[in-house]
Amino acid sequence: MSGDLDIGPILDGWDYRPGRLSVRKIKGLDGRPKLQLRLDLGLLQMEVEGRPDGTEPFGEPSLLAYYLKKLARHRAEHGTDEGFHLDEEECSALRREMMQYYHRRISLLQLREYEGAARDAEHNLRIMDLIKSYALREEDRRTFDAFRPFVIVHLAQARASLLLQRGDYEGALEEVEDGIRRIEEFFSERGLEDLIPEAKELRFLRGWADRIKKVRPKEIREELERRMKEAAEREDYERAAKFRDMLRELEEGPGRVRRT
């Protein structure tokens, strides 16, 4: 046995904290960035791009890509997707891939790398769509689909956070509201409307939408004040007056100010 394989030195100074997500980005020996997720018994290390484990199943960038290509060939040969199925073993392999993308997604959200997090959420939603359409077993279709609201929340969170970073509060609110709509449709299509009022995914997104609505006027006000000050410093008093009037309108009623 070789002591060189002991991961203890890697974990020194990086304690596991129950209830808290501990993630860091490092540079791998191959020169590429890696993500490390601290667990109670060690860590997970993931690639930032491609499949998280760095493999290319069947020569494809992911199992999802492989089965989508296989489906396309089936359609080309038969003129229909009838007869294309995913058996229990194939669904299990796709489930393992989903877990990899889940761990990377939550890591990227923690690091505020929202483009990658949105990409990985979309990947898992596409796996769910594939399973829903082609799994042989009803159990697989039902099991995979149960995670859809949770992944939709992460997708909305990633997309909205990216827009908030850019100061696009309207766009962020639209993304959150779209997530709410998609989850409500999920429950309605399955005859589960009674779950809509108390679903934790919906409570989270509705609460986030409320926070965006509350902070938005404050941010707009700060931007208008900045522009008014800059115009006055340039002695562009006509433009400064315009921003002053817009601030007054904002005080009288939120939502009446147009972007300039």
Segment among 200-204, 207-211, 238-242 with least mean pLDDT: 238-242
Q: Tell me, yes or no, whether 90 lies in a domain.
A: no
Residue 238 placed within a domain: yes
pLDDT: which is higher, 58 or 245: 58
pLDDT of residue 3: 56
* Domain assignment of residue 241, yes or no: yes
Whether 140 is in a domain gets the answer no
Q: Which residues pair with 39 in a beta bridge?
A: 42
245 has pLDDT over 60: yes
Give CA–CA dist 250/85, Å, rounded.
Answer: 57
List C-alpha distances in Å: 80 to 71, 83, 90, 139, 155: 10, 8, 21, 24, 31
Examine residue 247 and state whether it is found in any structural domain, yes or no.
yes
17-25: long-range contacts (C-beta < 8 A, 24 or more apart)?
A: 21/106, 21/107, 21/110, 23/107, 23/110, 23/111, 25/111
Dihedral in degrees, nearest 10, Cα atoms 180, 128, 76, 59: 120
Model pLDDT, residue 259: 36
**3-state secondary structure string, the chain?**
CCHHHCCHHHHCCCCCCCCCCCEEEEECCCCCEEEEEEECCEEEEEECCCCCCCCCHHHCCCHHHHHHHHHHHHHHHHCCCCCCCECHHHHHHHHHHHHHHHHHHHHHHHCCCHHHHHHHHHHHHHHHHHHHHHECCHHHHHHHHCCHHHHHHHHHHHHHHHHHHCCCHHHHHHHHHHHHHHHHHHHHHCCCHHHHHHCHHHHHHHHHHHHHHHHHHHHHHHHHHHHHHHHHHCCCHHHHHHHHHHHHHHHHCCCCCCCC
Among candidates 26, 69, 66, which has minimal Cα distance to 48?
A: 26
Residue 112 in any domain: the answer is no
Q: Is residue 229 part of a domain?
A: yes
Return the residue matching tokens 């909305």.
156
Average pLDDT over residues 22-40: 94
**Banded model confidence at residue 254, pLDDT cuts 50, 70, 90:** very low
- For the sheet with 33-39, list strands across it: 23-27, 33-39, 42-47
Range of the domain at 258: 222-260
Predicted confidence at residue 1, as pLDDT, reads 53
Give tens-digit pLDDT for 38-95: 999 889 999 999 999 999 999 999 999 999 999 999 999 999 999 999 999 999 999 9
238 — pLDDT class (breaks 50, 70, 90): confident
Rounded distance between C-alpha atoms, residue 176 and residue 206, angstroms: 8
pLDDT given at position 260: 33
| 213 pLDDT above the threshold of 70 | yes
Residue-level pLDDT at 233: 84
When divided into structural domains, the chain yields a total of 1
pLDDT (tens digit, 9 = 90+) per residue, 107-160?
Answer: 999 999 999 999 999 999 999 999 999 999 999 999 999 999 999 999 999 999
